[in-house]
Chains A and B, each alone.
Chain A
């Protein structure tokens, strides 16, 4: 994507505000309920709401926007209680997964819509609106497209128009619902970098919903992981990856294998053999040890904590993924260098080098 043109006045809009969600609860007949959610989005932060479908992440975003009502709980923007504000008064910029551009309006009319529908007293003049539209088109790198209609744009272009339209009204905060969900892999990658750029330039407090952990980890300052309507963990990409708070966070953020572990006197044993993982002092007895593929090192058969048969060797970028089938039929994957001499059909041992301990149950 081309470099972004130097400073536009958009970057100077007001102070970024924080978003605080307090005790938000919503019961749904079906899925996507929310249970007592407390979450603070810091001023100017880019926060990802990450979770599988049905986890309630979109519901939470819509409650922040005022597009849905919580059964209980409050939403604050910069200390201002916006819970009872209708969606029009919340001044949020909302970007929808399927763009939701006005089909019958040109790109320019779409972007200018939020300014044109203002009450006469604070509606900018026509020339001012036009100036603002061209400024925003510049920002989203679509100058020259003002007279196109949404149907004449690619998916990525549509989403950029949608973002320009949301920014046009100078929103307090920016909320994006699976903004790249409907785009193909290449465009997604480009738009991620571009969104990061826009975020840095506008400085708006931004929340985006995604089910793609790579997207969340790559883009966000902090990630809030939701599961079945509950907040599992909020933390920086490093925190949630290195210190997952729950087994769900561990397994959702990447491949993980679970081993039964026995904890005695602060020592972790798997199949009676010691593992060099620190165990929390309070944990005693049975526990779960979750390992990433790179936590497991292949060793000679008969050695290590586990035994298995190699049933597959695949290349994955600059690594090889080795599929190992254990005696009980369960499969797991480990990583090996490209030039590995491991072959399908070989018996190997697995040495657990690292992992995360969770209490059983």
Chain B
């Protein structure tokens, strides 16, 4: 009896949980994690901003007065403005189909959606060159009809869409699968049309998950380097996106300008992170079932 009560007292105390390690090991584990974070995440981020402001605010701002920089920013915004909505529509359609219907080749579709995550972005870019480049499969035909895809906006958009393909769909598929079809069926029996059901029942149920997916998709679309680098051809003021512009400036030893422009991307990342955390904090339950990449 006394043994039992002693044991009860022990388990009552939170310090003595069976999964708790000794103080030394706990501190060591936390320290390793912190040092790692500082070295590989915080330090580089700080360096970006420090380098960007090395010549003060004037030097920083000067980087954005250059025509090429403005063109790069404009191009990146244009690409994102096309790629993100395209993948939003695609992601919605794919996750709707996968979560709500049974059809042959479903698992193949799920695997295909993941493909861009497993293929190197450079390879993704090369695929489009092989298809649409001057020596590519459709190159001669496109050239004959005066359509430019490789080394132009369409190529960059295509490569970006490919790379950011999975973000919205990956976010929505588990969410929609978990929610099932009962609410939609209820709406249909109450006389709502399919479109009406989608707008009033499906969409409100997935809106936060959708926003989350779009956010990640946008961050990747603006920051993509590898695939875009291959298809863009690096034509200054024409086919350079922000990441490509940063690389060019850096290779020309124009460090302040390179880091200033890079800080733009870094800020985008921070804003995305903040919004993402806010969504998780505020609407965690509605995102549940989503995979967090």
Contact = CB atoms under 8 A, between A and B. Distances in A.
A117 B186 contact: no
A148 interface: no
A98 interface: yes
A180 to B, nearest CB: 16
B191 A65 contact: no
B59 interface: no
A209 to B, nearest CB: 15
Nearest to B193: A88
Interface residue range, chain A: 20 to 34
Interface stretch (B63-71, B144-152, B196-204): B196-204
A102 B201 contact: yes
Given A96-B182, A103-B205, A65 B190 contact: no
Interface string B173-206: 0000000001101111111110010001100110
Given A94-B186, A102-B183, A118 B205 contact: no
B189 A94 contact: yes
Given A102-B201, A103-B205, A104-B204, A113 B182 contact: no
A11 interface: no
A118 B186 contact: no
Interface string A202-215: 00000000000000
A169 B183 CA distance: 16
A249 B57 CA distance: 86
Contact of B185 (A96, A101, A114): A96
A67 B191 contact: no
Nearest to A114: B190
Given A88-B193, A117-B200, A100 B188 contact: no
Contacts of A93: 189
Interface in A88-130: 88, 90-94, 96, 98, 100-104, 113-114, 117-118
A118 B191 contact: yes
B192 A113 contact: yes
Contacts of A96: 182, 185-186
Contact of A165 (B182, B190, B200, B201): B190
B176 to A, nearest CB: 14
A140 B192 CA distance: 23
Contacts of A90: 189
Contacts of B205: 103-104
Contacts of B200: 102, 113, 117
A166 interface: yes
- Give the residue among A88, A91, A93, A165 with the most B Cβ atoms within 10 A: A88
Nearest to A96: B182
A193 to B, nearest CB: 25
A87 interface: yes
> Which one of A65, A101, A117, A162 has the highest number of Cβ atoms from chain B below 10 Å of its Cβ?
A117
Nearest to A90: B189
A169 B191 contact: yes
A102 B192 CA distance: 13
9 contacts: A67-B189, A96-B185, A96-B186, A98-B182, A102-B186, A102-B187, A103-B183, A104-B204, A117-B187
Closest 5 A-B residue pairs measured CB to CB? Answer: A114-B190, A100-B182, A117-B192, A94-B189, A100-B186
Given A88-B189, A88-B191, A102-B204, 14 more contacts: A65-B189, A67-B188, A91-B191, A100-B186, A101-B186, A102-B200, A103-B183, A114-B192, A117-B192, A117-B193, A118-B191, A166-B189, A166-B190, A169-B191
